[in-house]
Structure 1
């Protein structure tokens, strides 16, 4: 089974809101909300991949990222290894450059959104932080 290495960004703005993006319907785990990010290429660090993906997907210029947690999750049809980083040092206005719906959400409201199963430990860790 193929293992996909993914850099994931928990992007937090000055109002302490977190950026979510809707997965396109035709994608694996489509029509669910996720923390933006994308695949790590062979020649990239996680931080480099995340900075590139966030520029391509949501138009943010990220200056630095901080490692938050790693998750290995097996779906019936694929394995994902998520390397999650916190992003608070960025500029630009977030827009869905790939036609995806995006929105800033208060941490307390995150549980109202449907996420892929692999993302649930991220939610748990965020909601249990003070």
Structure 2
């Protein structure tokens, strides 16, 4: 049986040498781990439009533009995801966990000190290489 692939727009919000990360709620898939904010891409929606909608809801930022960073397909066993990862440096607002989740700015050099879902490892490697 084919698993449905969940298409997710992921925003790497970068300012200076830091990125903004959020902690996944304990009751969600991969709960308790840190992640880069984003969410599902709705049918007929572009990745950029999904990022604008999700990041306004999740971290209270207005996104003006984005740069495609990489695409990751990962099978967690119980769920398959396709992460469309974009770098965001052109935004307005003060990033915070707008849905009550924990969120913080972290130096890129400190990312290894945080636990992320397996699919995020490639994102972290890419960010460090920038």
Which TM-score band applies after superposition, normalised by the shorter structure? over 0.9
* CA distance, structure 2, for counterparts of residue 102 and residue 56 of structure 1: 13
Q: Which runs of 5 or more structure 2 residues have no equivalent in the other structure?
A: none
Deviation for aligned residue 1:128:
2.5
One of 11, 14, 29 as aligned partner of 2:13: 11
Q: What does residue 113 of structure 1 align with?
A: 114
Q: Which runs of 5 or more structure 1 residues have no equivalent in the other structure?
A: none
Q: How does 1:94-109 map to 2 (within 5 A)?
A: 94-109=95-110
Deviations 1:53-97 (A, max 9, x none): 000001001101110100000011010000000000001011211
Deviation for aligned residue 1:16:
2.4
Partner of 2:101, secondary structure, is coil
Q: What is the TM-score with the length of structure 2 in the denominator?
A: 0.96
* CA distance, structure 2, for counterparts of residue 112 and residue 2 of structure 1: 32
* CA distance, structure 2, for counterparts of residue 67 and residue 122 of structure 1: 12
RMSD after superposition? 0.8
Q: What does residue 32 of structure 1 align with?
A: 33
Deviation for aligned residue 1:35:
0.3
Q: How does 1:58-77 map to 2 (within 5 A)?
A: 58-77=59-78
Aligned pair count?
128
* CA distance, structure 1, for counterparts of residue 104 and residue 73 of structure 2: 26
